[in-house]
Structure formats: C-alpha cells, structure tokens
Amino acid sequence: MTKGYNLPAKYIIHTVGPIIYEEVTDKEREELRNCYIHSLQLAKENNIKEIAFPCISTGEFRFPKEEACQIAIKAVKEYLAKNENWFKKVVFNVFTEEDDRIYGQNILI
C-alpha cells in the first residue's frame, strides 16, 4: 500500500494478478480471488471505507474477462457478507465498453 499522492485517492493498494499462459487453472482462479480478498482486508486493517478495483489480470495478463468478472464479484460479495457495514463503497472501475457490459450483466447475479 502506498500513498495516492496526486491521484484522487489517499492510498493505493497494489496487487498483482495471475498471468494466464494457456488454460485458466484452479490455482490461478484462487490467486485472482485472493487479490480481491487481500485488498479488502488490507483496506479494512487501515480503516479505509471506500475502495475501487480495476479489472485485475484481464489485460496483458490474459485472464478471460467474463470469468475474471465473476470471480471478482463473488469474492467481493463473500467478503462483504462477512464484514457487513464496513465498506461505504466498492467500485469496479472498468477499462472498456466490453468490460462495462460484462460487469453490468454480472453484478446482479
């Protein structure tokens, strides 16, 4: 975690998602899930109440967007269910129109 400096955020929580070389494995799915869980936990430990996530691993790291979205949403929902009323806001900050469509279709599932 670093300070946000000139960004519109006080802090930046850094995480590195899995790189997909061939097919996605269960290990890589769990690694991606942990990116979200550990980031939420670090935010909570530092009394951060709002957090935004990019589409972790879906660009150059080649994690399939649809599956990554489903993992992200499920991980965040599971964490929030166990930490009810902690976070004021969780944002999925998408990169492209395709990402927006994918998250829009999956967010209510």
Cα of first residue to Cα of last residue in the chain, in angstroms, is: 31
Question: Which residues, in sequence order, are CB contacts of 4 under 8 Å at separation 6+?
Answer: 10, 11, 12
pLDDT at 42: 98
Give the C-alpha separation, 76 to 80, whole Å: 6
Range of the domain at 56: 30-106
- In CATH, what number is assigned to the domain containing residue 92? 3.40.220.10
How many domains does the chain divide into? Answer: 1
pLDDT at 109: 61
> Could you read off the pLDDT of 73-103 as tens digits, one per residue?
999 999 999 998 999 999 999 999 999 999 9
With beta carbons less than 8 A apart as the criterion, state whether 12 and 51 touch.
no
